[in-house]
A and B are shown apart, each in its own frame.
Chain A
Amino acid sequence: MNNQNRSFFFNVDYITIFLYLCLVAIGWFNIHAAVYNEDEALINLSSNSGKQLIYIVVAIIAAIVILLLDAKFFLTFAPVFYGITILLLIAVLIVGRNVGGNQAWIPIGNFRLQPSEFAKWATSLLLARHLGVMNTKLSDLKTLLPTLGILGLPVLLIILQPDAGSALVFISLIFVLYREGLSPYFLIGGALMVLLFVVTLLYPKLYIIIGLILVVAFLIYQFRRNRKLITVFVIGMVLSLLFIFSVDFVYTSILKTHQKVRIDLILGKVTDLRGVGYNVNQSKIAIGSGGLTGKGYLQGTQTKFNFVPEQSTDFIFCTVGEEWGFIGSFVVIGLYVFLLLRIIHLAERQRSSFGRVYGYAVACIIFCHFFVNIGMTIGIMPVIGIPLPFLSYGGSSLLSFTILLFTLIKFDSNRLGIV
């Protein structure tokens, strides 16, 4: 505690802060480029880039406030934050404003609050508290069930909005659980489910079933002396078969039409460059036309002339790709990878499992956004509307990611103290 009183910069991880500032700055310049208009002044507070500047200032103030607070504060109040966000998530379903089919925002004056952004932070905190305070074993149902409950409640509420993208982010927290001792079968099972889902949509069921049986038969033959593995394989196969038959049901009954179309697009089952495929196609054109070195700052024609929709928010990476080319994209992706690895490094150097779990949660959330968002702009992920951390235009997004990251930096600066 004494350490902190000396200076809030004491012991903070400057590398992470530097990476954060780099990404925020890149974000601002690209938002400026996306809305660039030669006639306007450089800074116009009514334009997106002007507003983003305000959000950045607000976010930095929030960061400083977090660094000034006591680390214990977050731990103690984690259930309260969690409770508040759950209430907000319920409230948004009732009083929220419907924008683009999603009931995700609560208007407060000019500002639109998006509770799901803050739910990530609160859930991470509670998860960390839950797994960190007790001496837990995730193989133990007593631990696992509450954990799943902590995760499941906000996911359920967010799905009701419906905001599949944000819900997906919570699923990425499975990596945290894995790190904390969850059986790897869950990861493998998850990966298999995704694989089977895609394959089932692409090819006739009969071929897949035959293929599955052949693979399992081969595995059983290989490990014929290991009874335990054989049991696992057989159970896996039965579950896979059930899953295959449920894919159609999920696909036709649970997924919404626009989600189905987006999946079909990414699988190449439909091409519709003027209709639903327009966004992704224009996004790929913008990025692809950047070439190696890009067209130069403010020279991007595709983004400047509004060919790419949502170019300051979800498709901000198009501006990077078009104006800075492959080199710029490489730098941005490099910064993210560096940041993610740095966060894992911070997480691993925490003395408490609380700090570690929270660190991993931050890494997983940023990673999920990073992967899904950039993957979407270059056409290897379906269109899922989640922002690119620190780069995308938007107050809620920037603020929530800043809080998320700086809470970790706070824990880290305090790692030598007792939490």
Chain B
Amino acid sequence: MNSFFKRRYIIQGIFILVALILLGRLYYIQIVDDRYKLSADNNVLRKLIIYPARGVILDRHGKVLVQNEPVYDLMIIPGQVEEMDTLEFCELINISKHDFDKAFKKAKNYSPYRSSIFQKQLSAITYAAFQEKLFEYPGFYVQNRSVRFYPDSTAAQFLGYIGEVNDREIEKYDGFYGQGDYIGKTGIEKSYEDLLRGQRGVRNIMVDVHNREQGSFFEGKYDSTAVAGDNLISSLDKELQLFGESLMVNKIGSVVAIEPSTGEILASISSPSYDPNMMVGRQRGNNYMKLLNNPFKPMFIRPIQAEYPPGSIFKVINALVAQEMGIINPNTYFHCPGGYRYGRNGWMGCTHVHGTINLEQSIEESCNTYYGYTYNRMIDHTEMRPVNAYSRWRNMVKKFGIGNILDIDLPAERPGLIPTADYYTKRFSNDKWTSSFNMSLSIGQGELGITPLQMANVMAIVANRGFYYKPHLIKAMGDKKIIKKEYTKKNDAGIQVKYFDTVIEGMSRVVNAPNGTAYNAKINDIEICGKTGTVQNPHGENHSVFVAFAPRINPKIAIAVVVENAGYGATWSAPIASLMIEKYLKDSISRPKYYTDRLLNANLLPGQKKLYYKPSNKKDSTAASEVKRLNAVPIIKQKIN
């Protein structure tokens, strides 16, 4: 003991103080702060996602439209890569040294210890060649995955495509998808995503610091197996779809065919189209940009997104609405002096001097004057003010599925357009306007927008005599073949059955009577009822439109064909519709070959001379100088509108 004895307490105090500091810090990191727990899980736990097979899409007869095909992703763990013959490696998987360096750097930056994709989607052939040499390259391995494959390259815009999720989608689905997962981006792939994708399985494994597997976590207690996605049965008829697509080659426009008794879409063609296989594989990015930059906009889904004034086919609707209103009846006659005079000095020309004609003839011969009178009476000569009468008329037209989306099972459908009374009140600065202010609506021109799908649906309504089912592309889902309830519900168009007789008779005469506007679409033993339309297009050539259903008794198909910038409805659209109907109903074409060839080979893209082209041996379009005018094809007698 000496005089500094008390200093032992200071030293003891310091020891205890330090121990308390250590304990305090331990308390903080072990009990208060739980981020270390998470980091520990991140260290050892690897969630292996087991991807289920995506559902297959079949056509209405069970033929495959989309299926899965295995591809092989080349994976890398940079930390395990050893000295290697880079050049041989590059040759094997068909990339340049530059690409190799880039991919390697990218993987290394991501993580030297964790695996990442080195090269996406090796083809089966590349994989086969590479597989034998794989053992020479430690740090590389191959992972199976499946991609979409379209055996017939058909219906690209409607089937849609899948792609890697983006950040917005990851956020939207709140953790369901992770970086690198695939999701339906457009079309059926998108709208039926939750059925097609199936259920992903998870396998939790533990790894050591070198990322070597060390067994399953809690004996697989938190693991789950993958459940394959549901198969979908489309309403499309693959043969009809392919035939329609071939008819629409080198034309801009749409064909939509609906089965009136169910609302099932039999064919839906948006032209120009593209090969859906372009949206799969390594070239996807390039192809996507090519399609995006194509002036004819192949990504634009014309049947549900293109809105046209309907033209003369709208007369069918006006004829039905006017009858329902009691304005006209089958025996209502108007006199056509070759046009209709309205307002102070308005004049709506007609194609012919029709003389005195009735309702049936007005459809058959597409008389503008008749509908001028009819529209005038519906709007101006009722018990209400024209503004209100217009609203009533508009509501009745809307019941045909115009002005709202039909809610088809595809994303991005457009509603079409039918202006409100307020629109005109605003436009004419007061509500004292009359039918003469928007007379063009009487014949389907002016401020109207109708999608080809809506046109076909109108035909389904006429075929059904007053109702329709929601048009849809998927008729049954999954193994149990479930049909969505909404597709079995009748939608009423608000027109009594009796008013259809005369209109249908008129439409039958359009095709079957020698002076009908679409006599060239007549098929001998099928009674087609149709209506031509020629849509005035301020930007260029008129659009050719034809709508129809067939057969007249017990209709099986309702169809709308729009060919942009092609002129008269009867010239292009009606023959295309006629062929489609015959193909669907009889599965064979009775027409002479030249009839079909003329349609198959015509190039009606804007910027082309309006000629009937002889098929050239050279596919190159620069061979235009070699094409001759073909006089062999009879110029069909046409009735304008």
Interface residues of A (CB under 8 A from B): 175, 178-181, 281-282, 284-292, 301-302, 304-307, 321-322, 325-326, 329-330, 333, 336-337, 340-341, 344, 348, 353, 360, 363, 367, 371, 374-375, 378-380
Is the C-beta of B483 less than 8 angstroms from some C-beta in chain A? Answer: no
Chain A interface, >50% SS class: helix
A344–B8 CB distance below 8 A: yes
Output the nearest chain B residue to A295 by Cβ-Cβ distance. B40
A169 to chain B, nearest CB (A): 15
Other A-B pairs, 5, CB within 8 Å; known A288-B35, A307-B43: A178-B7, A285-B36, A287-B29, A301-B206, A380-B22
B residues near A379, Cβ cutoff 8 Å: 25, 29
B217 to chain A, nearest CB (A): 9
A292–B30 CB distance below 8 A: yes
C-alpha spacing A322/B1, complex, angstroms: 43
Our pick among A178, A288, A344, A367 for the contact of B29 (Cβ within 8 Å) is A288
A80 to chain B, nearest CB (A): 28
A306–B210 CB distance below 8 A: yes
B residues near A371, Cβ cutoff 8 Å: 18, 22
B208 to chain A, nearest CB (A): 4
A341–B36 CB distance below 8 A: no
B30–A329 CB distance below 8 A: yes
B47 to chain A, nearest CB (A): 15
B30–A321 CB distance below 8 A: yes
- What string of 1s and 0s marks CB contacts (under 8 Å) between B18-39 and chain A? 1101110111011101111101
Known: A292-B31, A305-B209, A380-B21. A326 touches B36 (CB 8 A): no
Known: A301-B44, A305-B214, A307-B43. A287 touches B30 (CB 8 A): yes
C-alpha spacing A81/B10, complex, angstroms: 31
A residues near B10, Cβ cutoff 8 Å: 178
Known: A306-B210, A307-B44, A321-B30. A289 touches B11 (CB 8 A): no
B36–A287 CB distance below 8 A: yes
B residues near A341, Cβ cutoff 8 Å: 12, 15-16
A181–B214 CB distance below 8 A: no
Max chain A CB contacts within 10 Å: which of B14, B22, B33, B39?
A: B22
Our pick among A292, A302, A336, A353 for the contact of B43 (Cβ within 8 Å) is A302
C-alpha spacing A287/B37, complex, angstroms: 9
A359 to chain B, nearest CB (A): 10
B209–A333 CB distance below 8 A: no
A217 to chain B, nearest CB (A): 28
List 5 interface pairs A-B (beta carbons < 8 Å), by A numbering.
A180-B4, A301-B206, A306-B208, A330-B26, A367-B18
Is the C-beta of B2 less than 8 angstroms from some C-beta in chain A? Answer: yes
Known: A288-B37, A367-B18. A344 touches B31 (CB 8 A): no
The list of the 7 closest CB pairs from A to B, nearest first, reads A288-B36, A289-B40, A305-B208, A288-B29, A301-B44, A306-B209, A326-B30
A319 to chain B, nearest CB (A): 13
- What string of 1s and 0s marks CB contacts (under 8 Å) between B317-328 and chain A? 000000000000
B residues near A330, Cβ cutoff 8 Å: 23, 26
Known: A305-B207, A321-B26. A344 touches B43 (CB 8 A): no
A307–B209 CB distance below 8 A: yes
Output the nearest chain B residue to A306 by Cβ-Cβ distance. B209
Known: A175-B11, A301-B40, A307-B43. A288 touches B21 (CB 8 A): no
C-alpha spacing A15/B7, complex, angstroms: 24
C-alpha spacing A237/B207, complex, angstroms: 56
A residues near B41, Cβ cutoff 8 Å: 289
A residues near B18, Cβ cutoff 8 Å: 367, 371
C-alpha spacing A282/B37, complex, angstroms: 11
B residues near A340, Cβ cutoff 8 Å: 15
B4–A305 CB distance below 8 A: no
Output the nearest chain A residue to B45 by Cβ-Cβ distance. A301
Known: A306-B208, A341-B15, A367-B15. A284 touches B44 (CB 8 A): no
Interface residues of B (CB under 8 A from A): 1-5, 7-8, 10-12, 14-16, 18-19, 21-23, 25-27, 29-31, 33-37, 39-41, 43-44, 206-210, 214
B639 to chain A, nearest CB (A): 79
B27 to chain A, nearest CB (A): 6
Output the nearest chain A residue to B14 by Cβ-Cβ distance. A175
Chain B interface, >50% SS class: helix
B209–A291 CB distance below 8 A: no
C-alpha spacing A380/B26, complex, angstroms: 10
Known: A353-B2, A378-B29. A289 touches B36 (CB 8 A): yes
A residues near B7, Cβ cutoff 8 Å: 178-179
A322 to chain B, nearest CB (A): 8
C-alpha spacing A179/B4, complex, angstroms: 6
A289–B39 CB distance below 8 A: yes
A274 to chain B, nearest CB (A): 9
B residues near A307, Cβ cutoff 8 Å: 43-44, 208-209
A residues near B5, Cβ cutoff 8 Å: 348
A284–B12 CB distance below 8 A: no
C-alpha spacing A305/B43, complex, angstroms: 9
B4–A333 CB distance below 8 A: no
A240 to chain B, nearest CB (A): 22
A residues near B11, Cβ cutoff 8 Å: 175, 178-179, 344, 360, 363
B561 to chain A, nearest CB (A): 63
A358 to chain B, nearest CB (A): 15
B211 to chain A, nearest CB (A): 10
C-alpha spacing A302/B39, complex, angstroms: 10
B25–A378 CB distance below 8 A: yes
Known: A306-B210, A374-B22, A375-B22. A291 touches B43 (CB 8 A): no
Known: A179-B7, A325-B30. A302 touches B208 (CB 8 A): no
A336–B36 CB distance below 8 A: no
C-alpha spacing A178/B13, complex, angstroms: 14
Max chain A CB contacts within 10 Å: which of B14, B23, B30, B41?
A: B30
A residues near B44, Cβ cutoff 8 Å: 301-302, 305, 307
B597 to chain A, nearest CB (A): 68
A residues near B34, Cβ cutoff 8 Å: 288
C-alpha spacing A282/B113, complex, angstroms: 15
A333–B22 CB distance below 8 A: yes
B157 to chain A, nearest CB (A): 47
A284–B43 CB distance below 8 A: no
B15–A326 CB distance below 8 A: no
A333–B31 CB distance below 8 A: no
B203 to chain A, nearest CB (A): 17
C-alpha spacing A340/B8, complex, angstroms: 12
A residues near B19, Cβ cutoff 8 Å: 333, 336-337
A317 to chain B, nearest CB (A): 10
Max chain A CB contacts within 10 Å: which of B5, B16, B34, B43?
A: B43
A residues near B208, Cβ cutoff 8 Å: 304-307
Output the nearest chain B residue to A330 by Cβ-Cβ distance. B23
Known: A305-B207, A367-B15. A378 touches B22 (CB 8 A): yes
C-alpha spacing A375/B19, complex, angstroms: 10
A162 to chain B, nearest CB (A): 26
B42 to chain A, nearest CB (A): 9
A337–B39 CB distance below 8 A: no
C-alpha spacing A327/B356, complex, angstroms: 105
C-alpha spacing A305/B19, complex, angstroms: 29
Output the nearest chain B residue to A327 by Cβ-Cβ distance. B30
Output the nearest chain A residue to B208 by Cβ-Cβ distance. A305
Known: A179-B7, A179-B11, A344-B12. A288 touches B33 (CB 8 A): yes
C-alpha spacing A340/B33, complex, angstroms: 30
A291–B15 CB distance below 8 A: no
B251 to chain A, nearest CB (A): 59
B residues near A336, Cβ cutoff 8 Å: 19
Max chain B CB contacts within 10 Å: which of A178, A281, A337?
A: A337
B212 to chain A, nearest CB (A): 9
Output the nearest chain A residue to B39 by Cβ-Cβ distance. A285
C-alpha spacing A74/B10, complex, angstroms: 29
C-alpha spacing A285/B34, complex, angstroms: 10
B22–A181 CB distance below 8 A: no
C-alpha spacing A307/B14, complex, angstroms: 34
A329–B26 CB distance below 8 A: yes
